Amino acid sequence: MSSQKLWQAVLGELEVSFTRAQFETWFKGTSVIASEDGYIVVGVPNIFTKEWLEKKYCQQISDSLSRIAPDIEGIKYTVTTVGGKVSGARDQIIAPIEAPVTVVAATPTPTQGANKKLNHRYTLDGFVVGSSNDLAFAASQAVVAAPGAKYNPLFIYGGVGLGKTHLIQAIGNEINRNDPSKKVLYVTSEQFTNEFLNSISGKSTKKFTEKYRSLDVLIVDDIQFLGNKERTQEEFFHTFNTLYEANKQVILSSDKPPRDIPHLEDRLRSRFGWGMVADIQKPDFETRAAIIQRKAASRGINLELPVIEHIARHHQHNIRDLEGTLTNILAQCELKDREPSLEFVNSILGAAAPATKRRLATPKMIIEKTAGFFDISPSDITGQCRDKDIVVPRQIAMYIMRQELGLSFPKIAQNVGGRDHTTAMHSVSKIEKLLEVNEELRSEVSQVRERVTL
């Protein structure tokens, strides 16, 4: 078997034992680049992936490798440079994160006016995928592949700073990149409202109507603000129908699902659910870690794994804050001419903590909140009872420790009544598998996580 085939076979095995999000995040950009002295050399996009595969997933990978090719000694990882520069050049330390690219259009296109509000910094490539946002991401990819065809409208909802604007603008950017003749318009629902009301007072409603109803793609951000605005809702209803009937793509974002938006007409509410409704949850530990790594690397900084994990553990809430913290850390390193060591980062985070006033999740708190949610006592979780009513919450608590705190299996096992680490491993993977098929469990777990990270 060629090394390439061998690695494909290993990936095939790993794909079923990891969640889709984990697989996408850690294994997608890998390939075999050489084989030497009984080792295969696997190229990975960045140092962080390298460390993660070596340290975290080493066991699973080598198990799978020894099953498929017992004569191979092992795997070496090497960073290939496709993903860009990852060395720690100090002089780049306070360059803006993914600085907005100034796009100079070589030839003006007829859609230029319509597209000017899209921020080119938002791309699908720059969006880190994890279990909290993989559905929304996959739906976005599908819309880019065939606008207006399948998921229409695409409705993405989730809390503040979790990537909704990023994702819906990225869709607009990608559609436009594939076909610059497409008329894509991005507006917030307030802009839509103001423009509409101005068109009434300026007697230019016809122009307004023509503009909106001739689009190929209409993206409206924060659609929840349409609640209570009756006339605008009426107008939006007709815009929506015209576009929908012409198979034009509509993309909406909101802080809540259609059913929970107050004062929204029923006919709009039902239309918002006609296509695909996808949520974005708070990012789990792995996703937060991957985002930190990616954002630091894009500034030419290579953070060490313990530092990344420390920041990810400290920040459990939203990605905008996470980015802010990272900017702060990197700026202070520059200012004080220090390396971003664990100790230094710790001192910065420690100083910032009182301002955020948020309690950080701990294993103890996860046990308490999980027990509280399921109406059992924390000692049930750490105890030995094998009733299903107790076992499932216990497994959920372990899953959340893994997701929120990134704890190792022995640590999790130790916190949940000193069990064996294989129990923790089994519990976490059981919940992961169930979550993909069990809607009710998905909702329970997300409610508990919500309580833990509030």
Interface residues toward ligand ADP, by CB under 6 A? 126-128, 133, 158, 160-166, 291, 319-320, 323
Residue 163 interface partner, choices Mg ion, ligand ADP, none, CB cut-off 5-8 Å depending on type: ligand ADP
In the three-class reduction of DSSP (H, G, I as helix; E, B as strand; rest coil), residue 75 is classed as: strand
| Cβ-based nearer residue to ligand ADP, 300 or 378 | 300
As measured in angstroms, the least distance from the Cβ of 331 to ligand ADP is: 16
CA separation for the pair 191, 265 (Å, rounded): 20
Q: Over 344-398, what HEC string results?
A: HHHHHHHHHHHHHCCCCCCHHHHHHHHHHHHCCCHHHHHCCCCCHHHHHHHHHHH
Residue 128 interface partner, choices Mg ion, ligand ADP, none, CB cut-off 5-8 Å depending on type: ligand ADP
As measured in angstroms, the least distance from the Cβ of 313 to Mg ion is: 25
| Cβ-based nearer residue to ligand ADP, 161 or 383 | 161
CA separation for the pair 16, 256 (Å, rounded): 32
Are 233 and 265 in contact by the 8 Å Cβ rule? The answer is yes
As measured in angstroms, the least distance from the Cβ of 135 to Mg ion is: 18
Are 402 and 412 in contact by the 8 Å Cβ rule? The answer is yes
Residue 88 interface partner, choices ligand ADP, Mg ion, none, CB cut-off 5-8 Å depending on type: none
CA 76 to mean position of chain CA atoms: 29
| Cβ-based nearer residue to Mg ion, 63 or 323 | 323
As measured in angstroms, the least distance from the Cβ of 353 to ligand ADP is: 21
Are 330 and 296 in contact by the 8 Å Cβ rule? The answer is yes
As measured in angstroms, the least distance from the Cβ of 274 to ligand ADP is: 22
Q: What are phi and psi of 322, to 5 degrees?
A: -60, -45
As measured in angstroms, the least distance from the Cβ of 121 to ligand ADP is: 7
| Cβ-based nearer residue to ligand ADP, 169 or 193 | 169
As measured in angstroms, the least distance from the Cβ of 114 to ligand ADP is: 21
CA 394 to mean position of chain CA atoms: 26
| Cβ-based nearer residue to Mg ion, 190 or 368 | 190
Residue 127 interface partner, choices ligand ADP, Mg ion, none, CB cut-off 5-8 Å depending on type: ligand ADP
The strand pair at 31-36 and 39-44 is best described as: antiparallel
As measured in angstroms, the least distance from the Cβ of 270 to ligand ADP is: 24
Radius of gyration from C-alpha coordinates of the chain: 24
| Cβ-based nearer residue to ligand ADP, 216 or 284 | 284
DSSP code per residue over 179-245: -TTS-EEEEEHHHHHHHHHHHHHTT-HHHHHHHHHT-SEEEEE-GGGGTT-HHHHHHHHHHHHHHHH
The strand pair at 249-254 and 217-221 is best described as: parallel
| Cβ-based nearer residue to ligand ADP, 32 or 291 | 291
- In the bound state, the residue with its beta carbon closest to ligand ADP is 163
Adjacency order of strands within the sheet including 184-188 = 184-188, 217-221, 249-254, 154-158, 276-280
CA separation for the pair 153, 247 (Å, rounded): 10
| Cβ-based nearer residue to ligand ADP, 149 or 331 | 331
Whose structure tokens read 């509410």? 269
Residue 339 interface partner, choices ligand ADP, Mg ion, none, CB cut-off 5-8 Å depending on type: none
CA separation for the pair 13, 244 (Å, rounded): 42
Q: What are phi and psi of 358, to 5 degrees?
A: -105, 140
As measured in angstroms, the least distance from the Cβ of 448 to ligand ADP is: 22
Paired tokens of 418: 């000193």
Q: Is 165 in the site for Mg ion (CB under 5 A)?
A: yes
DSSP symbol at 85: -
Which pairs from 82-87 meet CB under 8 Å and 24+ separation?
82/29, 82/45, 83/29, 83/45, 83/46, 83/297, 84/297, 84/298, 85/297, 85/300, 86/46, 86/47, 86/297, 86/300, 86/302, 87/300, 87/302
As measured in angstroms, the least distance from the Cβ of 162 to Mg ion is: 9
Instruction: Count residues near Mg ion (CB under 5 A).
Output: 2
Residue 299 interface partner, choices Mg ion, ligand ADP, none, CB cut-off 5-8 Å depending on type: none
| Cβ-based nearer residue to Mg ion, 220 or 329 | 220
As measured in angstroms, the least distance from the Cβ of 452 to ligand ADP is: 20
Residue 168 interface partner, choices ligand ADP, Mg ion, none, CB cut-off 5-8 Å depending on type: none
| Cβ-based nearer residue to ligand ADP, 174 or 380 | 174
Residue 180 interface partner, choices Mg ion, ligand ADP, none, CB cut-off 5-8 Å depending on type: none
Q: Which stretch binds Mg ion (CB under 5 A): 164-172, 212-220, 305-313, 435-443?
A: 164-172
Residue 43 interface partner, choices Mg ion, ligand ADP, none, CB cut-off 5-8 Å depending on type: none
Residue 160 interface partner, choices ligand ADP, Mg ion, none, CB cut-off 5-8 Å depending on type: ligand ADP
Contacting residues toward Mg ion, per CB under 5 A: 164-165
